[in-house]
Structure 1
């Protein structure tokens, strides 16, 4: 079992050499396991139930890139003192409440949420917030198992960067990309995500059945992104979308279509809502985005 050596107790999970990850979903758990495996001082900050389960069982990773392994990742329900770096890996609907688990002021806060509006909320609380995005295909099974479905895990970080975190991620064999301006990083991700997320969710169908809708949304979002000051190439976005297999789908579809969904427990507002609010600020039309957001909202 990887990471089986004795771990420091909660009282020692403090200090500027610690990387804390807020959230133990697929992204948080996978990053926590890989950092722990690399010997980086890491703590997952999560719910009481998840912290107990992870403390008992560790986190099992199944990955084409990292192999199958189990790591004894430190997991706690709250941090009493600030870490050096705080990676925020909860979904947007849970962000405000999750922040109650963090005390003090980390040296740097790096959110990996979808959308753009979370940056303002985080900057109300923290002084140094650096925009970033993550590219990964993974899902969590239960509280302690992560299935990493594709051989990539890429974190793109905007200027001015977060060297202590990105050095640790590189040590853990996570690909790190220096992505330039904040608007470029955030809107590049959203322009690639919104079309497939909204189209597959509105129809409850894979991408192959809804490519026209997905491409129409991608064009609208690229126009909004450029109005927001981001360097987004619509042709490049469309080329990436067209290269995806017909079976491709989205986590938004999975969240909305769950057998027992929780109201608001998905990223429709963070994805589609953010696009529509930005379009309205610039007086830009986004009819297909609006139609799909309204359709999903009525499900």
Structure 2
């Protein structure tokens, strides 16, 4: 299987590196600046799941040069989606590849399906806390990592079976889900609460658990997001909601969200893709999500980096 990782931030570089590590034919599609960094520094991963380094990294910077790809792993931030959709369209037209997006949220799925066809877009997401250091190396700070995927169209069965065949080889949890849309919604519910609250209070996750009022805010976000999921036809049981809530308490006290990390660095944040997306869904269904709306208002000035 020939795999192209589009976007070599922390998530793309991590999964791409793990696939390279077990001998998969992996290349990266990146911008010129990141291409130079990967050429000079190589791909390096520092992780509790095992360190990895490769000096031989295949890189593309123009979609016109991409050929012979079976799977595109789309690992960009939500605010880069508009920019990369034309590139994804060109690559899919030239190669017939399937696309596995690892973005947070849900809005990107419809956008990609409209751009390249429903049969080409596989469901999926990543669960990992990682960032790039100044050298562009991946620093994986959570104890483990999970990448989930699942078919949304019968034409995707074979490629998903090939990907599933790698799960016993790679040093990450590669999980095929039967109901991938429900799993994606669980992640969206969680990350909207976790990223929103840690970023708004500008403190790590330990302060969610240790401050009763803050934990109540996070639980309200989870309830509002669960209601939106139901409006979209995805229904969670009380136990599933409780599991999402307990996940907020399971991190090390110093752990934090990628949005909070980006906020601290003065980088753009995904508030429009996550919280803005939730507000658009609320508007679509004529329901109110006051806590999400408040977090959105607090974080919106940081959307394009430190004001």
What TM-score range do you get, normalising by the shorter chain?
0.7 to 0.9
Q: 2-side partners of 1:23 and 1:245: how far apart?
A: 28
| Map of 2:181 onto structure 1 | 183
Q: 2-side partners of 1:42 and 1:107: how far apart?
A: 14
The TM-score normalised by the length of structure 2 is: 0.83
Q: 2-side partners of 1:87 and 1:170: how far apart?
A: 19
1:59 Cα offset (Å): 0.9
Q: 1-side partners of 2:255 and 2:39: how far apart?
A: 34
Unaligned runs of 5+ in 1: 1-16
Cα RMSD, aligned residues only: 2.1
The partner residue of 1:219 within 205, 217, 223 is 223
1:37 Cα offset (Å): 1.4
Task: Flag the 1:82–1:273 CA change in 2: closer, same or farther, 3 A.
Answer: farther
Give the length in aligned residue pairs.
279
Q: 2-side partners of 1:279 and 1:231: how far apart?
A: 16
8 Å CA contact 1:57–1:72 kept in 2: the answer is no
What's the CA shift string for 1:19-56, capped at 9, x where partnerless? 00000100111112111111100001101121122123
Q: 2-side partners of 1:166 and 1:52: how far apart?
A: 32
The TM-score normalised by the length of structure 1 is: 0.85
Unaligned runs of 5+ in 2: 303-307
1:58 Cα offset (Å): 1.3
| Map of 2:275 onto structure 1 | 272
Task: Flag the 1:225–1:71 CA change in 2: closer, same or farther, 3 A.
Answer: farther
| Map of 1:140 onto structure 2 | 132
1:205 Cα offset (Å): 2.3
For the residue of structure 1 that corresponds to 2:139, the secondary structure is: strand
8 Å CA contact 1:115–1:190 kept in 2: the answer is yes
1:182 Cα offset (Å): 4.2
Q: 1-side partners of 2:83 and 2:291: how far apart?
A: 32
| Map of 1:6 onto structure 2 | none
| Map of 2:170 onto structure 1 | 172
Q: 2-side partners of 1:83 and 1:252: how far apart?
A: 31
More helix by share: 2
Q: 1-side partners of 2:203 and 2:265: how far apart?
A: 14
